[in-house]
Amino acid sequence: MKKHYLPILFFLAIMPIFFIGLDRDKSVLPSPLIGKKIPEFSLPSLVNSELQIDSSELLNNTFLFNVWATWCVGCLEEHDFLMKLSESNEIPIVGLNWRDNHNDALAWLRDYGNPYTIIAEDVSGRVAIDWGVYGAPESFLVNSNGIIIHKHLGPLDDDIWERDFRAIINDAN
Amino acid sequence: MFPEIGHFALILALVVSLCQGSVSFYGAAKQNKDLITLTRPLAHTQSLFVLIAFTCLVYSFVSDDFSVLYVANNSQLALPLLFKVSAVWGAHEGSLLLWVLILSTWTTLVCLFSKNLPDIFSSRVIGVLGFLNFGFILFTLFTSNPFERIFPSPLDGNDLNPLLQDIGLAIHPPLLYVGYVGFAVAYAFAISAMLSEKLDKNWAKWTRPWTTAAWLFLTIGIALGSWWAYYELGWGGWWFWDPVENASFMPWLIGTALIHSLAVTEKRGVFISWTLLLSVSAFSLSLLGTFLVRSGILISVHAFATDPERGLFILIFLISVIGGALLLYAKKASDLDKKVGFGAVSRETFLLLNNVLLVIATILILLGTLAPLVLEVFNMGKISIGAPWFEIAMLVPMIPLLILVTMGMHSLWIKDSSFNLYKKLRSPLGIATLVGIVIPTVFYGRSGLLLLIGSIISIWIIISSLLSLRSSWKGNQGRFHINRSVAGMSIAHLGLGVFVFGVTIVSSFGVETDRGFSIGDQISVAGYEYKLNSIESVKGPNYVAIEADISVFDGSELISHLKPQKRTYLVQKSPMTEAAILAKWNKDLFVALGDSLGNDSWSIRIQYKPMVRWIWLGCLIMALGGLIAISDKRYRR
């Protein structure tokens, strides 16, 4: 009689493991870069190819580092938000144009607007590898000492900004 | 407009599936004829709406409607038409809709072919299927809607994952899902049986063809997946013990156990509660495996985009479907077991041992798959359990299981004598021992303990299956009669023998080697000469590739030109390896192009895989056996 309860007991015993396993939120991948200095780079500017952007010039200011490309649908999705953010002058946005076609990228900025203070052009994708980029869009929050304090995978929007970024920025200032 | 029609049809299907479930159950409980009569039309209506929804999604893909987010993420203008269609199930949302479509197709078939069953029984079966589909559609609509729009819509899509741009992957998931979801039918039959006032072995006869059908699709689906991994991933292995593969193998093992225990239950009326438990377990494992991977709880190369909200929904759904069934089982099963005697040497005993060993194998795989998760949850560090552990662990149940196959096939029901069995099996075993030793030592020039065990057992199974197949033919005054159940069973076991033989030979004598080649270089691997003639760029519809031209010589005779490619897909920029394979019945010569080593030198992987085709051939023969068994006349009465 009792033995027929064994399957349900076994099942109930393993379910909690799944619930705990579920709690490990994998959308916030703990980047080993958080708390570290930004990886150094020197890349041409997308808008003005004669100009070289050096990572050391970015310091002394809290900024948002946003990885984007024209082939990325998620980037288009977050573009409106980035435009709004840039108009609010809340924080400078540094763009990394990742493995993209130069002319497509310029056309994109012309068509949809340019929210970025400066944009570095990473044609080979080397710099993105240093930053541990999985896929576009990805955004990093960097404080005035050049330390990465937050990383977000996927498109940004108002809710995410309010929830994950604003408090950290206020702390950082 | 079509995405909205699809979306709306799916919402209607949700509502109708809920009606289908409630009306069937309420009707069965009240024994209300009118309500019971209503269940089939409701089920058909539900299936029709799901079909409309699915067709709309296919249309969105084929017509390149990138205003649909899911299409924009998984298709592209230049994608060939076939892959635009298969892209429908290329990611989470669409594959879930495919799952729903397949479940409603099974439901329709059950409605059509269950008219000779008692009304209340079939009504509950259809009801359970309705509730299941309600759960899946709810999940689709609330967490994974494939019809979601994006504005402004992109001019071109993000392309289908290049790994999935392959004919093997176009048909492998649907077949696998047909198998997984098919076990839902066995599950529904078991639930309905447990709710019946009077449960007898008839239920086993009714559910058998459905179970075998699900099993045969699962067999083909898994074999196709293995074949795809073999040539597309460029590693040359055929099974990797990845969590997703394990997730398909566990229900297969339990499904196999179920087929065997159903045979006993139908014939002899024993093991009823055990068979019910297996029916519930086969579908539970299908769900558990598939959805654990979906939820991102287990990490796998196959994992789809993860989302904690989905995971929570999945877990709640799993608890209701599996937990509910097991609770019902706990309450009802104890009344079911009848005392029916059988001898220590009898077919019943062998089938019982078969079940025990298959369940042990399943539990070992479950442990191996979940152990890393458990350790992480309890903060005991991250470990990964890989192929070496599984390969050794599987030998424990598998060797005895394979030895028992022939005995089970040739023993009698109720009571047999060891001497009788020994008389029947000794000459096949003698021949098998001889052939099993000669083949590896003479043709491949090596022997070893595991190798000889594998080759002797597999040949023993092949010979015994052929003998058993012959016994299924009865000549009576020039008129032949074939017992299709016996013939199907024999052919399925023949397939098993072929499979084991392939595995044994390829794992003992396969050669894998990575070499650096410059143009003009010639290298010898396992008796064949490989010469790199040239490396060129070629262009495909949505990719560019570097293609090597390699001549293969057997001695001095040129036997083939192999042209492996390394592709770069234009949109996703991801590199893909397309291996070139010279496939013969008794061996594969496999060449894959690796990375450039600079100075016009390339890394090339060459593999010699003897008898590897027998692995998939064996699976196909097993499935064919299942098909023949289903066609037995007694299921159509």
Using CA coordinates, name the residue in chain A closest to B74.
Answer: A73
Question: Nearest-CA neighbor of B535 among B543, B545, B526, B546?
Answer: B546
Q: Which tokens belong to B438?
A: 């000669």
At residue A25, does pLDDT exceed 50? no
How many domains is chain B partitioned into structurally?
Answer: 2
| Residue B32 domain flag | yes
**Amino acid A59: pLDDT:** 78
| Residue B178 domain flag | no
Q: Which residues of A touch B376 (CB under 8 A)?
A: 21, 24
pLDDT digits (tens, 9 = 90+) for B348-361: 899 999 999 999 99
**Amino acid B357: pLDDT:** 96
Beta strand spans in B363-451 (E): none
Query: Which B residues 119-158 touch A at CB under 8 Å?
Result: 150, 152, 154, 157-158
ipTM over 0.95: no
**Residues B132, B103 contacting (CB under 8 angstroms):** yes
pLDDT digits (tens, 9 = 90+) for B565-622: 988 887 766 677 888 999 999 999 999 887 777 777 888 889 999 999 999 999 999 9
Q: Which residues of B touch A98 (CB under 8 A)?
A: none
pLDDT tier at A26 (50, 70, 90 boundaries)? very low
Report the CATH number of the A34-172 domain: 3.40.30.10
DSSP character for B307? Answer: -
Taking one residue from A and the other from B, the number of pairs with CB-CB distance under 8 angstroms is: 71
Of A12, A17, A72, the CB nearest to B377: A17
**Amino acid B145: pLDDT:** 93
Interface residue A111 vs chain B (CB under 8 A): no
Rounded CA gap, A43 and B248, in Å? Answer: 47
Using CA coordinates, name the residue in chain A closest to B319.
Answer: A15
Last residue of a domain, one of B119, B137, B160: B160
Rounded CA gap, B121 and B196, in Å? Answer: 7
Rounded CA gap, B184 and B17, in Å? Answer: 15
Per-domain residue ranges for chain A? 34-172
CA distance, residue A148 to nearest chain B CA (Å): 25
**Residues A132, A63 contacting (CB under 8 angstroms):** no
Rounded CA gap, A160 and A139, in Å? Answer: 12
Consecutive H or E run containing B596: strand B587-598
pLDDT tier at B161 (50, 70, 90 boundaries)? confident
Of A1, A11, A25, the CB nearest to B334: A1
Query: Cis omega (within 30 of 0) on the bond before B440?
Result: no
Q: What is the CA B494 to chain-centroid distance, rounded?
A: 19
Interface residue B380 vs chain A (CB under 8 A): no
Amino acid identity for residue B243 in this structure: P
Rounded CA gap, A72 and B572, in Å? Answer: 9
Rounded CA gap, B154 and B65, in Å? Answer: 10
**Residues B499, B618 contacting (CB under 8 angstroms):** yes
pLDDT tier at B304 (50, 70, 90 boundaries)? very low
**Amino acid B577: pLDDT:** 80
pLDDT digits (tens, 9 = 90+) for B113-124: 988 899 999 999
Consecutive H or E run containing B522: strand B522-525
**Residues B456, B437 contacting (CB under 8 angstroms):** yes
Helix axes B418-438, B449-471, angle to 10 degrees: 120
Q: Which residues of B touch A8 (CB under 8 A)?
A: 323, 326-327, 329-330
pLDDT tier at B294 (50, 70, 90 boundaries)? low
Contact A26 B296 (CB under 8 A): yes
**Amino acid B302: pLDDT:** 43
Rounded CA gap, B91 and B144, in Å? Answer: 10
| Sign of torsion over alpha carbons B302, B304, B307, B308 | negative
User: Residues 6 or more apart from B141 whose CB is under 8 A from it?
Assistant: B10, B11, B14
At residue B462, does pLDDT exceed 50? yes
CA distance, residue A17 to nearest chain B CA (Å): 7
| Residue B145 domain flag | yes
Of B318, B334, B373, the CB nearest to A4: B334
Q: Which tokens belong to B479?
A: 């008129």
pTM for the full model? 0.81
Of B158, B297, B308, the CB nearest to A18: B297
SS (H, E, C) B212-264: HHHHHHHHHHHHHHHHHHHHHCCCCCCCCCCHHHHHHHHHHHHHHHHHHHHHH
Q: Give the domain range for residue B553.
A: 511-614
- Tell me how far apart the terminal alpha carbons of chain B are, to the nearest angstrom: 47
CA distance, residue A4 to nearest chain B CA (Å): 5
| Residue B147 domain flag | yes
Rounded CA gap, B275 and B257, in Å? Answer: 9
**Amino acid B303: pLDDT:** 42
